[in-house]
Amino acid sequence: MTTALPTPLVAPEQLIAALAAGATPLVIDCSFDLADVAAGERAWAQGHLPGAIYAHLDRDLSTVKSGRNGRHPLPPRADWAATLARLGVTPARAVVVYDAQGGMYAARAWWMLLWAGHRDVRVLDGGLQAWKAAGGAIEAGVVAPVAAPPYPLGESLVASIDADALQQSLGRVTVLDARAGERYRGEVEPLDKRAGHIPGARSRFFKDNLDASGRFKPVAELRAVFEALGAAPAAVVHQCGSGVTACHNLLAMEAAGLPGSVLYPGSWSEWSSDPARPIAVG
């Protein structure tokens, strides 16, 4: 596990070999279920990668909701640094994050670690299912994190944009919406206050980044899809419902060799909570 890896992904076979060779990354299970917020933690306790600790989307990877800051608002960076220390993250230690949902929650943790300036972080390609399929060992039981010294925040390694700046930039950036097509089109809205999408946004369902086995599609295939947008990565803004699955599209671009795209963390849940912000349907 080194920063020389050319991709933000690590294959289960690579991780198995690295662990056998004595590598000691901090492994974090980020499994979650929006419909049952305790389900991911229960599943982790029943079976996880050896030594894996657990990070909860609501408790660890988000802060308190105000009703106007989205469903999974980012915590202040100082609070996130305190969480990192509690989880045992140090600048010198490699981190591997995974989940059992195609990487949708692991991608959020990956982005947030980069946001703190932590460079050595990888997402387990294919998650728990791919790990099992590759013959990786599984442990049961609760693993308590071993706290580390206060995490020294570094310069963010990723870019983000807030709602006001995004609204002012519409027409000059390419906005990608990671939600399912029916939510993007405004046909249904099970979670947020208004249905539809940010004007000018294009639909890119995050699950389309994965093949039938749940791993990310080949680099050339992903690169062709995102290059077809015709925008430089720095002019691509990712959003979704609450800033979680948008990270999956951002991760896919990074894996495809197209680094530098931008996250709108508040996403549709924040945007739609403000009746003054424009929306589009169809």
The side-by-side arrangement of strands in the sheet containing 174-177 is 159-160, 262-263, 236-239, 174-177, 202-203
φ, ψ for residue 197, nearest 5 deg: -150, 170
Query: CA nearest 147: which of 62, 89, 61, 95?
Result: 89
Annotated active-site residue in 176, 240, 244, 252: 240
Q: In whole angstroms, what is the distance from residue 196 CA to residue 38 CA?
A: 29
* Paired strand residues for 122: 96
* Torsion, CA 246, CA 249, CA 251, CA 253, rounded to 10: -140
For residue 7, which of 254, 217, 227 has the smallest C-alpha distance?
254
How far is 254 from 7, CA to CA, in rounded Å?
A: 7
Contacts of 176 (CB under 8 A, 6+ apart): 201, 202, 203, 204, 229, 236, 237, 238, 239, 246, 249
Task: For residue 107, give the 3-state DSSP assignment.
Answer: helix
Please say if 240 is a catalytic residue. Answer: yes
Residue written as token pair 């294009």? 202
Residues serving a catalytic function are: 240
